Chain A
C-alpha cells in the first residue's frame, strides 16, 4: 500500500515507513543535510533538513519524519530557506573558515551549502571570539582530526560504532565546546578508519596519506574496481597527469555499500611506483616489438616442457586469452594466488585475488610448488598485487608484468603490461558477480594491455585464440 504525498506541489507515491528525506531524494528533490547518511542510524541533530509540513506549526526534520497519507510538504518555502540560513550561520559561528588550507575545500558540504543556501555576509562581531579546540590531532595511524572544523554531525561516531564495530569515538564537553574525540587512551586504529574522510561532510577528518597532497578540483575521477581482494569493491580513482592521489569507494549496494578498507584505499601507491615500463631481455631494454618477436622465438624454439602461470588477479579476458596461448604452444596452465588470510566482519575477503572465482571458472587449476620443477620454460602473467613465485625465481622465465618484481628481475624476458588502472577487463568476485572496469590512466611507457600482448604473441605464433 503506497502513501500519497505532495512535495512542492508534486504528487508522489511513497512507501509507508519511508522518511520525507528518503522520498524526496529518491524523486530528485534535494533537501540539504549534514548528519543524515543513508547507511547510518538517524541522528536528527544538524537541523539542516528542516521542511515545512502543512498543518504543522513547527518545521520538522525530514530525515526522521515518516511520510503519512496526504502530507503536504514544502522543501523550499521562505521559512525553510530562512531556517537553513540560520543553521549555516550557526555552523559557521565557530568554524575556522580556513578553506584555503583545508583539504576538503572543493568537496566540502558546508562550503557548497553556504554558496547554495546562505551566501550572506557574516554577522559575527570581531569581538566575539571563536571557540578554540584541538587542531591537527593525530588520531591514529591513518587519521588527523581538526576539532574546530567539525560540525558535530556524529557521522564518524556512528560509522565507527555501527559499521566498523569499533567503539573508539565519542563526543565530549557540552555546548559550543563540544568536541569529537577518542575515549581516553584510545585511538582510531581500524581497517576501515579512512572511510571517515569520506563521510565527514567537512574537513575535520583528513587522511594522513592524502593531507596537503592535492587540491581536489584538479583531480579527474574515474570509476574502477579494487583488485586487492575477492570482494571487488567499487572504487573511484582520483588522478592527475597520470599520477593517482587517492582511491575512494563508489557506492554499490550489492558489493561494498559505501565503504572500502584502508588497505585497498592505500594500495594505489603501487600503481604510481616501481612499474615496469620497458621490455627487458637479460636486463637490457628493448622495444616492445623486438620483445614480442623475442618472446615468440623463445616459445617456438623451446622444445622442453612449458608451463603457463597466471595470477588469479588477472582479468577474465586476459585469462581466457592466456589459456589459449599456453595451450597453443603445448604447455600446461596453472593459476597462482596471493597468500590467503581470513574474511573479516565487513568487506575484506580471505581470498586476496580479484578474479579467483573467474579463473577457477575457466577450469584452470592451482599451481603447486612441485609442479614447477617438471617444466623448463615458464610463461608468467603477473598482476599488480601478485606475490612472487619462489620456486620460479632463477628458472627460465618469460614474464608479462606491470611491475618491476623479482620475477621480472630474474626472467630472461619481461614484457611490460598495463595495471588495472590503465586497462579494461572484467573481474568475477567471490559471489560470482562480473564487474567490468575501464582505463583510468594512459598507458605508462612501453606498457601495453595484457590482452593485447597475449594476442600479438598468438598472432605471431599463428594461433587462433
Chain B
C-alpha cells in the first residue's frame, strides 16, 4: 500500500503487532491518558468534530451517539459490536487480530466519554482466534493498569469483557446483540426505548462498531482537524475496505473516504481477476444495492457519493462481480443467506425470506414461470420497511435490485428452463 495514510492499519505487519509492548512502543495508550485528562464532554465533542461516522453500516455520527447517553447515575455500558456478519465484510477481524490494543484504547476513551464502567466486546462465535487474541490483550491491559480500578490515577474504573456469540447474523443488529448479551435469544427489540435509554440489563448503552472505536485513539491523539485532513467534507477520515469476489488481490485496504471505487478495483486491488470484464459491484456488503459496471464509473467510496449512485457505503465490503457471473445464482445464494439468518420474529421477514429463496432457486433451476419474477420482486416490496429491524430491508435489497437490474437474465433462465451459461461463475468464487 503505497503512500496512503494509515490510521487503523498503522501497526499491521509489525512484528508482534498484537502485543502490548509493540503497541506501547508506538505511543500506545497515550491517547487514553490524554482523553482522561480531558472532560468527557470534550472527548465526545472532539469525536463529533472529527466527523467520525459509524463504520458498521449506518454511518451515524459517533460523537452524537455518545452524547445521547443520559447523565444520570445509572450504570452505563459500552458494547462493541464485533459480530461482523455482513457477507463480504472482514475488516473488524483484522483489527482484532493485528492490533487489539488499538481497539482497547478506543474502548477506554469511549467509555470515559459516555461514563461507562463496563464494556463488552460482543464477538461472533466463529471468531475464535480473534476472541482469544482480544482476551489476551485485555489481560495485558489489566496488568498495565489501563483497565480495572483508577485508570491513569483518575476516579474512573472500567472493566472489559469479550462475549462470544453463537453464530447468528442478526446479533449484529444492536438490540439483538443486547438481547444475546443478556443471555436471551438474539431477536431485535422494538424501539423506542433506544439503547441509550434502556439497553443492556435495561441500562443506558451505546453500541459501536469495532472500526469506529478503533478510529478514536487517533482522533484524540492528533485532534479532529488532523482526522479531517483525510476523506471528504461530509465523510472524513479513513476506512477499511474489504474487497472480495472476482478480484486479483482480495483483502482489507485502508483508504481515505472518497477514494474512487474504480481505482480501488483497478489499481489498489489489481483489477478484475484474470483480466475479466467488470459486470457489477456490491459496494458495501450484501445488504447494499448492487451497481452495474457502468453505474460504478465516477463513484467515490464515501457515504454521499454512493448514496447518490443509488447505493450505500455500508460496511465497506466491496464485492466484485465479473462478466460471466450468473446473477440468478448469486441471488439464490444471497436469498439463502437471509432465509437462514432471519430471526423468525416478524411475519414478513420470517416467511418472506424463505419464500424468496424458494423462488430464486426455482428460477435458477429452470422450474419457474415469468410471473414468478414478479412474485419474487413483490416479496421484496412487501418486506421492505415492514419489520422491527432492518434485516428484512437488507434481504429485500438484492431481491428487488437483482430482479430489476438483471431482469433479462431471470427471463432467460425461465425461457431456457435453466441457467443458459451452464456454470454460474467464470472463475471460482472467493
A binds B: yes
Give the chain A neighbours of B354 by CB distance below 8 A.
Answer: 93-94, 131, 175-177
Chain B interface: which of A82-90, A249-257, A365-373? A82-90
Give the contact stretch, choosing among B233-241, B307-315, B384-392. B384-392
B168 touches A90 (CB 8 A): no
Q: How far is the CA of A55 from the CA of B358 in the complex (A)?
A: 36
Task: Of the listed stretches B4-12, B43-51, B211-219, B345-353, name the one at the interface; the rest are far from the partner chain.
Answer: B345-353
- List chain B residues, Cβ under 8 A from A58: 385-386
CA–CA, A77 and B154, complex, Å: 59
Q: Which residues of B contact A170 (CB under 8 A)?
A: 185
Measured in the bound complex, the distance between the Cα atoms of B423 and A12 in whole Å is 62
- B86 near A: Cβ within 8 Å? no
State how many angstroms separate the Cβ of B360 from the closest Cβ of chain A: 11
Q: Which residues of A contact B (CB under 8 A)?
A: 42-48, 50, 57-59, 61, 64, 83, 86-87, 89-91, 93-94, 123-125, 127-129, 131, 151-152, 170-171, 173-178
Which one of A45, A83, A94, A151 has the highest number of Cβ atoms from chain B below 10 Å of its Cβ? A45
Question: Interface segment, B22-30, B335-343, B401-409?
Answer: B335-343
Known: A123-B375, A174-B341. A128 touches B388 (CB 8 A): no
Chain A minimum-CB-distance residue to B340: A175
B interface, size bucket: 20 to 34
Pick from B170, B355, B388: contact of A93, CB below 8 A.
Answer: B355
A91 to B369, CA, bound (A): 23
A95 to chain B, nearest CB (A): 9
Q: Are B344 and A178 in contact (CB under 8 A)?
A: yes
- Take A90-B382, A175-B353 as given contacts and tell me if A64 and B190 are in contact as well, using a CB distance cutoff of 8 Å: yes
Q: Which residues of B contact A (CB under 8 A)?
A: 168, 170, 185, 190, 339-348, 350-355, 358-359, 362, 367-369, 372, 375, 382, 385-388
Residue picked from A44, A64, A128, A175, most chain B C-beta under 10 Å: A175
**Given A47-B386, A91-B347, are A125 and B362 also a contact pair (CB < 8 Å)?**
yes
A174 touches B372 (CB 8 A): no
Contact flag A90-B344 (CB < 8 Å), given A50-B386, A83-B386, A174-B168? no
| Residues of B close to A43: CB separation below 8 A | 190
**A86 touching B386, Cβ below 8 Å:** yes
B351 touches A91 (CB 8 A): yes
21 residue pairs of the A-B complex, CB under 8 angstroms, read A44-B388, A58-B385, A58-B386, A83-B382, A86-B382, A86-B386, A87-B347, A90-B351, A90-B382, A93-B354, A125-B359, A125-B362, A125-B372, A151-B347, A171-B185, A174-B168, A174-B343, A175-B339, A175-B344, A176-B355, A177-B354
Given the complex, which residues of B lie within 8 Å of A90, measured CB to CB? 347-348, 350-352, 355, 382
Which A-B residue pairs are the 7 nearest by beta carbons? Answer: A178-B344, A176-B354, A86-B382, A90-B351, A175-B342, A44-B190, A128-B358
- Complex Cα spacing A61 to B20, Å: 50
Q: Smallest distance from the beta carbon of B49 to chain A beta carbons, Å? A: 30
Shortest CB distance B198–A (Å): 14
A59 lies within 8 A of B347 (CB): no
Instruction: Quote the shortest CB–CB distance from B359 to chain A (angstroms).
Output: 7
The CB with the most chain B CB atoms within 10 A, among A46, A64, A128, A178, is that of A128
Closest Cβ of chain B: how far from A106's Cβ, in Å? 23
On chain A, the residues within 8 Å of B168 by CB distance are 174
A177 to B355, CA, bound (A): 12
Complex-state Cα separation, A90 to B348, whole angstroms: 6
Residues of B within 8 A of A175 (CB): 339-344, 350, 353-354
- Whether B350 contacts A178 by the Cβ 8 Å rule is yes
The residue from A89, A94, A127, A173 contacting B362, defined by CB atoms under 8 A apart: A127
Give Cα distance in the complex from A87 to B351, angstroms.
Answer: 9
A151–B350 Cα gap in the complex (Å)?
10
A-B contact count (CB 8 A): 100
Q: Do A93 and B385 touch (CB < 8 A)?
A: no
Q: Do residues A86 and B350 form an inter-chain contact, with CB atoms below 8 A?
A: no
- B347's partner among A45, A57, A124, A173 (CB-CB below 8 A) is A45
* Chain B contact residues: helix, strand, loop or mixed: helix
Q: How far is the CA of A42 from the CA of B191 in the complex (A)?
A: 11
Q: Are B362 and A128 in contact (CB under 8 A)?
A: yes
The reply to whether A174 and B340 form a contact with Cβ atoms under 8 Å apart is yes
Cα A90 to Cα B341 in complex, Å, equals 17
Q: CA–CA, A94 to B350, complex, Å?
A: 10
Q: What residues of chain A lie closer than 8 Å to B372, measured between beta carbons?
A: 125
Given A90-B382, A125-B368, A177-B354, 5 other A-B residues pairs in contact with their CB atoms under 8 A: A47-B346, A57-B385, A64-B190, A93-B351, A176-B353
Which A residues touch B386, using CB under 8 A? 47, 50, 58-59, 83, 86-87
Once the chains are docked, how many angstroms separate the CA of A443 from the CA of B23?
91
Closest to A46 in B: B347
B409 to chain A, nearest CB (A): 20
Partner of A47, one of B343, B347, B367: B347
On chain A, the residues within 8 Å of B347 by CB distance are 45-48, 87, 90-91, 151-152
Considering the complex, give the chain A residue whose CB is closest to the CB of B361. Answer: A128
Residue of B nearest to A42 (CB): B190
Our pick among B345, B351, B359 for the contact of A45 (Cβ within 8 Å) is B345
A42 to B193, CA, bound (A): 13
CA–CA, A151 to B351, complex, Å? 10
Do A45 and B388 touch (CB < 8 A)?
yes
What is the bound-complex CA distance between A127 and B340, given in angstroms?
20
**A75 CA to B353 CA, complexed, in Å:** 27
| Chain A residues whose C-beta falls within 8 Å of the C-beta of B190 in the assembled complex | 42-44, 61, 64
Q: A90-B352, A128-B358, A170-B185 are in contact. Are A177 and B375 (CB under 8 A)?
A: no
A174-B344 in contact (CB<8A): yes
Given contacts A42-B190, A89-B382, contact A177 B344 (CB under 8 A): yes
The docked-state distance in angstroms from the alpha carbon of A128 to that of B352 is 12
For A61, list chain B residues within 8 Å (CB): 190
- Residues on B with beta carbons closer than 8 Å to the beta carbon of A48: 347
Quick check: B351 and A47 within 8 Å, CB to CB? no
| Contact residue among A47, A124, A128, A178 (Cβ-Cβ distance under 8 Å from B348) | A47
For the complex, what is the distance from the CA of A59 to the CA of B392, rounded to whole Å? 14
- For A86, list chain B residues within 8 Å (CB): 348, 382, 386
Taking CB atoms, residues of chain A closer than 8 Å to B352 are: 90
Closest residue of chain B to A83, judged by CB? B386
Closest to B367 in A: A127
Contacts of B369 in A (CB 8 A): 125
A48-B346 Cα distance, complex, nearest whole Å: 10
Q: In the complex, what's the smallest C-beta–C-beta distance from A360 to chain B, in angstroms?
A: 46
* Identity of the chain B residue whose Cβ is nearest the Cβ of A91 in the assembled complex: B347
Shortest Cβ gap from B394 to chain A (Å): 14
Residues of B within 8 A of A93 (CB): 351, 354-355
Residue among B340, B343, B350, B352 with max Cβ neighbours from chain A (10 Å)? B350
- A residues within 8 A CB of B382? 83, 86, 89-90
Shortest beta-carbon distance, B149 to chain A, in Å?
37
Q: Which residues does chain B contribute within 8 Å of A131, judged by CB atoms?
A: 354
* Other-chain residue from A57, A59, A123, A152 in contact with B350 (beta carbon distance below 8 A): A152
Whole-angstrom distance between the Cβ of B315 and the nearest chain A Cβ: 22
Nearest B residue to A44 via CB reads: B190
